[in-house]
Amino acid sequence: MTALPTGLRRLRAQHGDPAARSLRNTWDAPVVHRDLAASPVPHLSAAGIAAWGTDPARHSAEQAAAAAVQDELIDQFLGASAYLFAVPMYNLTMPSVFKAWLDQVIVKGRSFGLPDGPPASGRPALVVSARGGGCGPGTPNHGKDFVVPALETILHDLLGLEVTSFTPELTMAPVVPALAHLVPIHKASLTDAHQQARRRAEKFRDQIAV
Amino acid sequence: MTALPTGLRRLRAQHGDPAARSLRNTWDAPVVHRDLAASPVPHLSAAGIAAWGTDPARHSAEQAAAAAVQDELIDQFLGASAYLFAVPMYNLTMPSVFKAWLDQVIVKGRSFGLPDGPPASGRPALVVSARGGGCGPGTPNHGKDFVVPALETILHDLLGLEVTSFTPELTMAPVVPALAHLVPIHKASLTDAHQQARRRAEKFRDQIAV
């Protein structure tokens, strides 16, 4: 089973999903798909934080509602054995809705901070992070990718996942005249993303079958 | 005038605000305070993105509502002459509600991407980013601060602000027994944050008076 939180519709429809689809087409096990654009996760609230340290029997109505949101997301997260995260870059970082998902799921004593390590420890995860521009060498935003390094650290250090990432980039090149000369780099990055996605799906299958 | 988007209540109440208050106590010009914990900003939606490229006269009801959210936030942002951002670290990155604020405010042709540069270009901004742990040398999360480098880049490169940051850290040390030995580092970091905040307020005043 794979949980698939996705970014917002614009990049998802245009760019994020094609490479993700290559993985899913190669993948024949059951998939749970969570579309955060269609069903946004609320921001972690003061009630949601207060709920962590409070006996559920003493939760206020607001805390109980906030805890129910966390419980549902954590159960879905822990119920999967591999993960595909399609997280486009928005203003150099992850979309707020994906950060909200992380903040709801990362709860001490549930998904991390347990004596035996995180319950999802060692499970494979793939991050596909499409971006309209480019952060590779020779591009204007070189060194300014604040999505992938952050996600790799959070998903591994806090949730215990074994993360691989790739970044279909310059997805705006075919539609923005000033970026037209970068179309070949965009196409190469997309081809590479599809190839990697298919390879990764096969590897996931082997890892999970073991 | 200073716009003050703040993080969530927990860190704001305990840690974020004291240093921010040192700045505000030294500051005697009018202040506009936006509390994102009390009044969260919605995630940027597909309608909000579609609204950017659509003639307002042709906005759907959903697009018009999304554009009104952006307009109010952008007007408040552009109406200030200096900024104090209190953005605590949540799971190594910024809280989703602050990312939502950024994604609503960063609109091409309004706050950036204009022929003469961003309208807020050169205005001073201070980022106060409290965190329960530490990311400095010798701490377990050394090198894993994905708040300040991201914010400095976004606020400067996209919105044109001149950013200074400081990070009151280890705010959990006084309450978590395992971190008790780090209390002195926490206290030093807090003292430093207050001093810097007061100095920064005086500098802001000079810059704006020019």
B177 secondary structure, DSSP code: G
Residue A87 within a domain: yes
Smallest Cα distance from B200 to chain A, Å = 27
C-alpha span between B92 and B145 (Å, rounded):
6
- The model's pTM: 0.88
> Locate tokens 């409070």: which residue?
A54
Which of A77, A89, A99, A111 is best to mutate for the B interface (most B CBs within 10 A)?
Answer: A99
H-helix or E-strand spanning residue A86: strand A82-86
Q: What share of chain A is helix, strand, coil (3-state, %, to 5)?
A: 50, 10, 40
Our CA-based measurement puts residue B209 at a distance from the nearest CA of chain A, in whole angstroms, of: 32
**Domain membership flag for residue B2:** no
**Pairing, β B124-128 against β B162-166:** parallel
B interface toward A at CB cutoff 8 Å?
Answer: 8-10, 37, 40, 43-46, 49, 90-97, 99-100, 102-103, 106, 144, 146, 149-150, 153-154, 157-158
Amino acid at A179: L
Identify residue B19 by its one-letter amino acid code. Answer: A
Q: Which amino acid type is present at position A198?
A: R
B69: Cα separation from own chain's centroid: 18
Is the pLDDT at B13 greater than 70, yes or no?
A: no
Contacts of A102 in chain B (CB under 8 A): 91, 93
Contacts of A49 in chain B (CB under 8 A): 8-10
Task: State pLDDT tens for residues B31-69.
Answer: 888 999 889 999 999 999 999 989 999 999 999 999 999
Q: Which helix (H) or strand (E) holds B99?
A: helix B96-105
Chain A residue with minimal CA distance to B107? A91
Q: Average of pLDDT values for B1-18?
A: 39
Residue at token pair 């500051």:
B27
Q: Domain total for chain A?
A: 1
Helix locations, A27-90, DSSP H: 46-52, 61-78
Which residue segment(s) compose the domain that A110 sits in? 8-209
Task: Report yes or no on B3 lying in a domain.
Answer: no
Stronger pLDDT, A82 or A26, i.e. the higher one = A82
| Contacts with A22 (C-beta within 8 Å, 6 or more apart), sequence order | A193, A194, A197, A198, A201
> How many residues make up chain A in this entry?
210
Q: Which residues pair with B127 in a beta bridge?
A: B85, B165
- Classify residue A181 by burial, with Cβ atoms within 10 Å: 0-12, 13-18, 19+: exposed
Residue with token string 């709920």: A51
What residue type is assigned to position B114 of the chain? Answer: L
Chain A interface, mutation test: which of B10, B91, B141, B155, most A Cβ atoms within 10 Å?
B91
**In whole angstroms, what is the distance from residue A119 CA to residue B110 CA?**
45
Among candidates A195, A116, A103, A107, which has minimal Cα distance to A150? A103
Domain containing residue B191: CATH number: 3.40.50.360
- The confidence score (pLDDT) of residue A10 equals 36
pLDDT tier for residue A15 given thresholds of 50, 70 and 90: very low
* Cα–Cα distance, B1 to B125 (Å, whole number): 12
**Does A3 map to a domain?**
no
| Angular region, B58: left φ>0, alpha ψ -120 to 50, beta rest | alpha
With CB atoms and an 8 Å threshold, state whether B92 touches A158.
yes
Q: Does pLDDT of B17 surpass 80? A: no
Tell me the pLDDT tens digit for each residue of B104-151.
Answer: 999 999 999 899 999 999 999 999 998 888 887 777 788 899 999 999
pLDDT of residue A13: 38
Contact A165, A126 (CB under 8 A): yes
Among candidates B100, B144, B158 on the partner chain, residue whose Cβ is nearest the Cβ of A153:
B144
- A11, A35, A43: best to mutate for the B interface, most B CBs within 10 A: A43
The type of residue at B22 is S
Q: Is residue A14 part of a domain?
A: yes
Question: pLDDT band at residue A42, thresholds of 50, 70 and 90?
Answer: very high
CA distance B38 to A121: 35
- Across A10-14, A22-26, A159-163, A189-193, least confident range: A10-14
In a domain, A2, yes or no: no
